[in-house]
């Protein structure tokens, strides 16, 4: 914040508080007796309805003054007046860090206890799985869905089709270090649109069997087997999905398959190790492992 803007805020805030104070004092500078008021300022309507101008009761007046004093104290203690940080040196960030530290000291030992167990052991521990479930809703549901069924581009974690493998070590690796699937854009390797169309049809029919008579077959054997394998079952070391299992990450329509081939795909699973720590990653590994079985 520039210092001019900071002063603009300080002057505006303090100025309006002083103005309020002045208004309260000014409206009460002389308290007329109720008789005088009746005589001088009353307006009479409909013959007997009389409008008076009674001063505020004292307790009410003091409430105003107290709120002003409270406001002044608040601005001295907490940040609010321009860039003045307040005498209490309170900050949102510090409060957040304190709360995180408090939660960590409360739950940390419990997480650590589970973090030292194997995922295979944890799948039999209902408490650990319950914790896994709420960790899952906090950290994973926004991408993989609240029931972990995934969506377009986000893998289903409840089935047995795995990009990178469904053993605990592989799941944990996906969670802790993240994954980055790289399907290169391959438009340039086809001579014309018809060749691309033939490849799309070929891939779309792969779950029913690889058609060795199709001209696209030899192209597949040249361009795709390195990642998707000679049998089309994929390669978990690269995250290349099986193309023969009728389980499509990006959809089974010709348009989606064409897009995968022509433009490539680049699914990113962000690394969560630093965010959640090793213990929670272990609990989540067990939770996901259990989901898929």
Q: Which residues bind ligand HEC (CB under 6 A)?
A: 139-140, 142-144, 153-155, 157, 162-164, 171, 174-175, 179, 181-184, 186, 199, 203, 223-224, 226-228, 238-241, 248-250, 257, 260-261, 265-270, 272, 284, 288
For ligand HEC, the closer of residues 81 and 280 by Cβ is 280
Minimum gap (Å) between residue 193 Cβ and ligand HEC? 15
- C-alpha span between 140 and 222 (Å, rounded): 37
**Nearest-CA neighbor of 111 among 99, 127, 97, 96?**
127
User: Which residue is listed with tokens 């049809």?
Assistant: 201
Residue 123: other Cβ atoms inside 10 A: 19
For ligand HEC, the closer of residues 53 and 266 by Cβ is 266
User: Which residue is listed with tokens 């289903």?
Assistant: 156
For ligand HEC, the closer of residues 64 and 250 by Cβ is 250
- C-alpha span between 69 and 57 (Å, rounded): 19
**C-alpha 268: how far from chain center:** 16
Minimum gap (Å) between residue 72 Cβ and ligand HEC? 46
**Nearest-CA neighbor of 171 among 126, 225, 236, 241?**
236
Minimum gap (Å) between residue 106 Cβ and ligand HEC? 21
For ligand HEC, the closer of residues 82 and 219 by Cβ is 219
Minimum gap (Å) between residue 262 Cβ and ligand HEC? 10
Beta carbons within 8 Å of 26's beta carbon, 6+ residues apart: none
Minimum gap (Å) between residue 203 Cβ and ligand HEC? 5
Whether 166 and 156 have beta carbons less than 8 Å apart is answered as no
For ligand HEC, the closer of residues 53 and 253 by Cβ is 253
For ligand HEC, the closer of residues 87 and 222 by Cβ is 222
Minimum gap (Å) between residue 166 Cβ and ligand HEC? 7
């Amino acid at each position: 914040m520039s210092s001019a803007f900071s002063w603009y805020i300080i002057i505006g805030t303090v100025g309006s508080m002083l103005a309020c104070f002045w208004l309260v004092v000014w409206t009460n500078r002389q308290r007329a007796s109720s008789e005088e008021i009746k005589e001088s300022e009353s307006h009479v309507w409909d013959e007997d309805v009389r409008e008076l101008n009674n001063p505020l009761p004292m307790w009410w007046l003091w409430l105003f003054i107290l709120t002003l004093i409270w406001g002044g104290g608040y601005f001295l203690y907490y940040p609010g007046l321009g860039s003045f940080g307040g005498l209490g040196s309170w900050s949102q960030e510090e409060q957040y860090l304190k709360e995180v530290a408090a939660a960590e000291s409360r739950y940390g030992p419990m997480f650590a206890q589970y973090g030292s167990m194997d995922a295979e052991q944890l799948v039999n521990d209902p408490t650990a799985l319950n914790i896994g479930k709420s960790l899952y809703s906090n950290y994973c549901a926004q991408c993989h869905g609240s029931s972990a069924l995934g969506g377009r581009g986000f893998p289903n974690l409840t089935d047995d089709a795995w990009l990178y493998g469904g053993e605990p070590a592989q799941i944990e690796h996906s969670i802790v270090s993240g994954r980055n699937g790289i399907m290169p854009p391959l438009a340039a390797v086809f001579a014309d649109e018809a060749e691309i169309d033939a490849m799309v049809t070929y891939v779309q029919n792969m779950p029913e069997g690889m058609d060795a008579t199709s001209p696209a077959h030899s192209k597949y054997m040249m361009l795709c087997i390195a990642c998707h394998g000679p049998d089309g079952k994929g390669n978990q070391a690269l995250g290349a999905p099986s193309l023969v299992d009728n389980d499509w990450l990006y959809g089974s329509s010709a348009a989606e398959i064409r897009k995968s081939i022509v433009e490539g795909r680049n699914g990113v699973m962000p690394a969560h190790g630093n965010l959640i720590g090793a213990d929670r990653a272990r609990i989540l590994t067990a939770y996901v492992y259990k989901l898929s079985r």
